[in-house]
Structure 1
Amino acid sequence: MTPPEPSTDRAEMEDVPVDAADHDALLDHFLDTHDDWHMWRPWSEDLTYATHESQTLRIERDHSAPARETAWTVAAYETPVSDRIWHLTATGATPSPVLQDLLTNLADGTGWDTSVGQFLDEASVIAATQPATDAGWKHTIAGRWIHWTSPNGDAGIQFDAFAAQRPNGALPTWLLWAGPAIDHPTWEIAASTHTPSTLLADLAETLAQGAITRPTADLSPPAHHHTASPPVPPAPAVKRTNSRPF
């Protein structure tokens, strides 16, 4: 089954400007208040990497990313040299409350309940989407996709059962989005199969509370979604002399 064609009569939404300074301030505050995370800069001034002292959690921040392109990448590993367990990406217009939720979960590191090498079970899917269910979001099934959509249709969660069975594939298993429609979001978070359901549930709760945009004219073309693999997460941190001070 092919994805549905983009709607031609959807409401126009504002192309939310990227508040890069706000995003950067969130990351700076996170690093300032968590000594077990360390920052380093590569040769490009557009990128910042933050790595947990265990070397098993890593963040990539792209300061130059447009509103609808990937500005944040998070990756988790079982050991510093193992394959990636899970990862997620967030676009440049992702609201600060959602990113704050993400960073808080990375700092807590508790309740990370997906198992490496196992398929995602029904209980984990239910747990991840419980906030949307509690908020009365519409629940629909379209082929391999399961959707939870806000009452006015301007935010949602998508679960891809096909991608869930291929955890190393290029397609995301989860999408959390807000905007005119899922195929033309103002912002989105894409997550892989083994992303912890507790993390997803916290993000879903923030989304269900209304981190969305307001109607106006659309100022930019839609992004092309999920046609390539997510960005490669950074290697373990190495101290650099050009690191930005905290």
Structure 2
Amino acid sequence: MDTSIGSPADEKTVTAATKPLTDAGWKHTVDGRWIRWTNPSGNAGIQFDAFAAQQPTSTLTTWNIWAGPSIDRPSWTLTASPYTPSLLLADLAENLAHGTGPRTYTPVKVKHPAHLTTAPTGPLPRATTAQSSRSG
């Protein structure tokens, strides 16, 4: 099921939107009006505001998708209304579930081409000095 045009999120759309998170083993908590899914390392998550979802004319954010040190100090956030299609939210959740985690930077070693020198094939050049003739 997906969110119908003109209808707010309900239990079915929330379940469909967050299935990728549940399948990936994200922690699910309920805190008052908020339902949260957080990745195992706690540096990404999705928060659903059940109160905002029931107020279709409200300007409150229904969905808050984030990543960073914590939900209170995210590096980035994405917010969505109760009318956001669950298929779009599920796609975002899928990408978030499989695209987050510890990031490591491994510098690429650049191999410089070897400077090849060839051995001389003939006798080495000799230094010569100009001799001046002294006349007398």
TM-score, length-scaled by structure 2: 0.70
Residue in structure 2 matched with residue 208 of structure 1 by the alignment:
97
CA-to-aligned-CA distance 1:196-227 (integer Å, 9 cap, x gap): 00000000000001246759xxxxxxxxxxxx
User: Is the strand fraction higher in 1 or 2?
Assistant: 1
TM-superposed deviation, 1:144: 0.1
TM-superposed deviation, 1:130: 0.4
Residue in structure 1 matched with residue 43 of structure 2 by the alignment:
154
Q: Matches of 1:160 and 1:171 in 2, distance apart? A: 9
Q: Matches of 1:169 and 1:212 in 2, distance apart? A: 34
> Is the 8 Å Cα contact of residues 6 and 83 (structure 2) preserved in structure 1?
no
AA aligned opposite 1:187: W
Residue in structure 1 matched with residue 71 of structure 2 by the alignment:
182
Residue in structure 2 matched with residue 163 of structure 1 by the alignment:
52
Q: What CA RMSD, in Å, does the superposition of the two structures yield over aligned residues?
A: 1.9
TM-score, length-scaled by structure 1: 0.40
Q: Matches of 1:170 and 1:213 in 2, distance apart? A: 34
Q: Matches of 1:176 and 1:197 in 2, distance apart? A: 13
CA-to-aligned-CA distance 1:84-123 (integer Å, 9 cap, x gap): xxxxxxxxxxxxxxxxxxxxxxxxxxx8x31244342211
Instruction: After the TM superposition, list the runs of 4 or more consecutive aligned residues in structure 1 that deviate by more than 6 angstroms.
Output: none
Secondary structure at 2:65 match in 1? strand
Give structure 1 stretches of 5+ with no counterpart. Answer: 1-110, 216-246
Give structure 2 stretches of 5+ with no counterpart. Answer: 105-136
Residue in structure 2 matched with residue 191 of structure 1 by the alignment:
80
Secondary structure at 1:190 match in 2? strand
Identity percentage over the alignment?
A: 63
Q: Matches of 1:164 and 1:206 in 2, distance apart? A: 23
* Alignment size in residue pairs: 104
